[in-house]
Structure 1
Amino acid sequence: MMAADEGKRRASLGRGLSALLGDDIAAAAATPTGEDTVDEALSAEALRQSKTIPIEFLKPNPDQPRKRFDDSAIDGLVNSIQEKGILQPILVRQHPSEPNAYEIVAGERRWRAAQRAQLHEVPVIVKDLSDSDTLELALIENIHREDLTPLEEAEGYQRLIDEFQHTQEALAKVLGKSRSHIANSMRLLGLSDEIKSMLDDGLLSAGHGRALIGVPNAEELAHEVIARGLNVRQTEQLAQEGKKGDKKALKKIGKKLNRDPNVEALEQSLSNNLGMKVQIASKGEKGKLTIQYENLDQLDDIIERLNEEMGATGNVVEM
């Protein structure tokens, strides 16, 4: 029996989210790509199959994978609902412990927006779903929507693998993502709580987080990345030196990353014009200009250019 249940579960995952919603809605909402989300499945056809219930009868799912809701995004949804109403019904099931209530499976953002829009009733589709199906559907739908934080996404993958025995390959196929994306996302779970908090707060991106994995002084570097506004490439450079444990090299690259972009642009411009590497070391109004030549011909070229500029004054540079 357990083997049969597992086979059924894998078949459902293989057919996509619509398998849990029923063939009638799935057929009505089929898309050319076959990559339906719950919102796509709850289409205009599904809306005709829905019923309207008082908004206070709905309760949020305590296992909702999304922990944070973007107020600005919900405000935008409020405006849409006030103008056009709710175009897609909310997927619910009978509440497991409250007889006259329903638990939201998919569509909590719409429910929150409908409350702000002061709607008294909302359209819903009621499905007979187990605790397991409810959690699985909520996880997959939220990942499909691609508006989770990097950590919420990683935790969603981990739960689908741990609690439902799905493989990374199966998830990649259903969710339309590469296996490497899923694997790299899950690596973020190995970061410290402090850096995870920075990810959740949007101070660091997933790329920043991956660059800091396995670095001994990751928290220190993370603060440096945020303070200097470093991009992912710069963070990777910083982390590389951090892994080596070379404090002098770390300090050196830190200074380099903190340079004035105007000085870097001038360096690049001079290098392009001369065809040689130019370095500018500045401190306040003072500094040093270094031109690196590869051979004596390049040195002759530099001297010739200087002489052309200085010839009018009678000053000549000689080797």
Structure 2
Amino acid sequence: MAKTTRKKALGRGLSALLNDPENDIQSVDDKNADKVVGNIVELELDSIEVNPFQPRTSFNEDALDELASSIRELGVIQPITVRKVGQQAYQLVSGERRFRASKLVGLETIPAYIRIANDQESLEMALVENIQRQDLDPIEIALSYQRLIDEIDLTQEQLSDRVGKNRSTIANYLRLLKLDPIIQTGMRDGFLSMGHGRALINIINTEQQLEVYEKILKEKLSVRETEKLVKSINEGRKKPISQPKLDQDKQQQLKAISQHFGAKIDIKVTKKGNGKIILPFSSDEDFNRIAKILQDSKNA
């Protein structure tokens, strides 16, 4: 009797096999798992939940409407990928835009590849597949890389192998997360490119970062113009502070002191008028010579 039931279930196809409580496939080792995993199955949209590991957090409504129109005319051409989480229960791994657009159209089912994975594997699959397939903004990509490093415990070298990107490329994305949150939001909203962000990272002072960010938006600066502006700011910060000029009387006194010690005396004076006199020496012998002069002056 059981044999007849199995044949009947298999005869109804993959959808029937998945809906049969006697064939609740939860792992790749379960019976009939090989008939389900990796195959395309029409699943009810209501049986699919959104992936909590999805790196994309915002979806352009106009783009979704365009995709919905395409699906209305042609159907879902590329199946989504889901993982089985229970009896007639699935979770998205990739394809959330197609999933959302299909709901907008009013479809009841959607073609899907079925995978079986634990939470950690699902996180990795979702992040890697989205990085490779979706048009994520630079910050979303950077956050995805950071999550793979933190939550999957990957090194940058291992991450480079997983996503097929150079380690330097990954490092450049990760550096974007050091930008002020306001600037990160600007990048996510499309006001700044990754090139702008990479230039702004070189400004250490957060207030200056934001000032340049506002200037980029206001004057619509290109990446090249932004790089030049950042360079000029950094060069200005590195310029030595100009010393107040000594008046003629102090210059004469400094000359006399230099002659007395037989060495070129340096002097540092602040705008407030205070400062210090620097008396250099070139060797132990020279130091002893200067010390003797000072001692003799004290005893005179």
TM interval, short-chain normalised: 0.5 to 0.7
CA distance in 1, matches of 2:134, 2:197: 18
- Ranges in structure 2 where 5+ consecutive residues have no aligned partner: 1-27, 29-36, 238-300
Q: Which residue of 1 aligns with 2:245?
A: none
Q: What secondary structure, in the 3-state scheme, does the structure 2 residue paired with 1:166 have? A: coil
CA distance in 2, matches of 1:145, 1:173: 16
Q: Which residue of 1 aligns with 2:79?
A: 89
Note the alpha carbon deviations across 1:124-166, whole angstroms, 9 max, x for none: 2322110001110010011102511110101111111122232
**Aligned residue runs from structure 1 range 112-261, under 5 A:** 112-215=100-203, 216=205, 217-245=208-236
Given residue 176 of structure 2, which amino acid in structure 1 is its aligned partner?
L
Q: Which residue of 1 aligns with 2:65?
A: 75
Note the alpha carbon deviations across 1:193-217, whole angstroms, 9 max, x for none: 1111111111111110110114121
Aligned-pair RMSD on alpha carbons?
2.4
Rg larger for: 2
Q: CA separation of 1:70/1:164 partners in 2, compared to 1, >3 Å: closer, same or farther?
A: same
Q: Which residue of 1 aligns with 2:50?
A: 60
CA distance in 2, matches of 1:54, 1:80: 20
CA distance in 1, matches of 2:128, 2:43: 26
Given residue 59 of structure 1, which amino acid in structure 2 is its aligned partner?
E
Q: What secondary structure, in the 3-state scheme, does the structure 1 residue paired with 2:113 have? A: strand
How high is the TM-score relative to the length of structure 2? 0.62
Alignment size in residue pairs? 201
Given residue 74 of structure 1, which amino acid in structure 2 is its aligned partner?
L
In the TM superposition, structure 1's runs of 4+ consecutive aligned residues that sit over 6 Å from their partners are: none
Q: Aligned residues: percent identity?
A: 43
Identify which range, 85-94 or 192-201, moves more after superposition: 85-94
CA distance in 1, matches of 2:221, 2:184: 18
CA distance in 2, matches of 1:155, 1:200: 12
CA distance in 2, matches of 1:154, 1:124: 28
Q: Which residue of 1 aligns with 2:98?
A: 110
* Equivalent pair of 2:53/2:127 in contact (CA under 8 Å): no
Question: CA offset at residue 238 of structure 1?
Answer: 0.9
Given residue 114 of structure 2, which amino acid in structure 1 is its aligned partner?
V
Q: Which residue of 2 aligns with 1:51?
A: 41
Given residue 125 of structure 1, which amino acid in structure 2 is its aligned partner?
Y
Q: What secondary structure, in the 3-state scheme, does the structure 1 residue paired with 2:83 have? A: strand
* Equivalent pair of 2:139/2:184 in contact (CA under 8 Å): yes
Q: CA separation of 1:146/1:89 partners in 2, compared to 1, >3 Å: closer, same or farther?
A: closer
Q: CA separation of 1:161/1:113 partners in 2, compared to 1, >3 Å: closer, same or farther?
A: same
* Equivalent pair of 2:202/2:230 in contact (CA under 8 Å): no
